[in-house]
Amino acid sequence: MIVIGVDTHKRSHALAAVDEGTGRVRGKREIAASEAGHLAAVRWARELDDERAWAIENCRHVSGRLEQALIAAGERVVRVAPARMGASRKGEREAGKSDEIDSLAIARAVVKDGIEAFPVAYLDEQALRVRLLSDHRRNLVAERTRMQNRLRWHLLELSPELERQIKPRSLSEPRALERLDRQLRRLPTCERLRVARDELSLIRTLTRNVNALESELLELIRAQRPWLLEELGCGALTAAVLIGHTAGAERFHSAAAFAKQCGSSPIPCSSGQRQAMRLNRGGDRQLNSALHTIALTRASHDPKTKAYLARKQAEGKTPKGALRCLKRNLARRFWRLLTRPPLTQPATERITAPLPMTCIT
């Protein structure tokens, strides 16, 4: 069996095939980042060995098309985090950095750790739709925040009294924006006022788009996985992050693998007689943030979760340590929820067995 490492770029991809058992180089090639190039890569790989796996550096914007083409061709594909490449290159005899060296480092990183240690590439079109809309909404919110900050500085110059009347976060409310627009019209005309009104108009447009995207995400989740919305602390936006950034829970072979992707799996930091676990700063930080939001909500409003946290602290855990235990349990529960087939599949293919409502096991 061979492992083919792929270093992806916008216009070309570098390939390097190595033997899974020995790490010996079996072939190298560069292809164009096009349909013809993808087809040539598959033909080249099939000539090298009947059993093969593709290891693609996980650069979502430049590796997506190749990944989709390989999966459509029936190839086995795993994703390799770019952070792993530095250590793998240091182990190479050839110093320096190039596309050829990078592709070889990707392949040998997979050979060293084993293919099972890497997440399998999985195509989930519905999750992709949710992620695109969720990411677009987050970008619009960030742009609106920048616009709101600039507007407040202009208001401070135009009318300090007016600026002081604006409550925190009120510039995201349509009624507050309309009221501010009426107040700005009463001020003497000047260039700064013109800029402020233009910015206010853009904020109103961004707010309408943000609210429309949130409604659209809610409808998508209700149509696909409405049971996520029944979970305490999991609203439409949190559910969208879980669906979009998981990108198909089927690609994780266990709840532990999903927890590692979420950055909620404990990392040992023991020494001698001291046994301890530390915070995991790896994984997908958006997934980790979603679990953190759910955990905090349950810690405030769910009696069972409060009892669980109290029990963990009685065992000697710190409050933060107990919260990390809770997030690990939540990762297990939401992995089960996300592996249930969406409602858009035929009813005969769905899992209808109910899951326990509590996340504490």
Q: What is the pLDDT along the chain (361 residues), one digit of tens a residue?
A: 999 999 999 899 999 999 988 888 999 999 999 999 999 999 999 999 889 999 998 776 788 888 889 988 889 998 887 766 655 555 555 666 788 888 888 888 888 888 877 777 777 788 889 999 999 999 999 999 999 999 999 999 999 999 999 998 899 999 999 999 999 999 999 999 999 999 999 999 999 999 999 999 999 999 999 999 999 999 999 999 999 998 888 888 889 889 988 888 887 777 777 777 777 787 889 999 999 999 999 999 999 999 999 999 999 888 998 999 999 999 999 999 999 888 765 443 333 333 333 444 3
Rg (CA), the chain: 25
Distance CA 289, CA 281 (A): 11
Distance CA 10, CA 13 (A): 8
Relative orientation angle of helices 285-301 and 319-338, to the nearest 10 degrees:
110
CA distances from 173 to 148, 168, 354 (A): 12, 11, 39
Nearest Cα to 331, choosing from 282, 276, 275, 264?
Answer: 264
Which amino acid makes up residue 38? H
208 HSE (CA, 13 A, CB side): 7
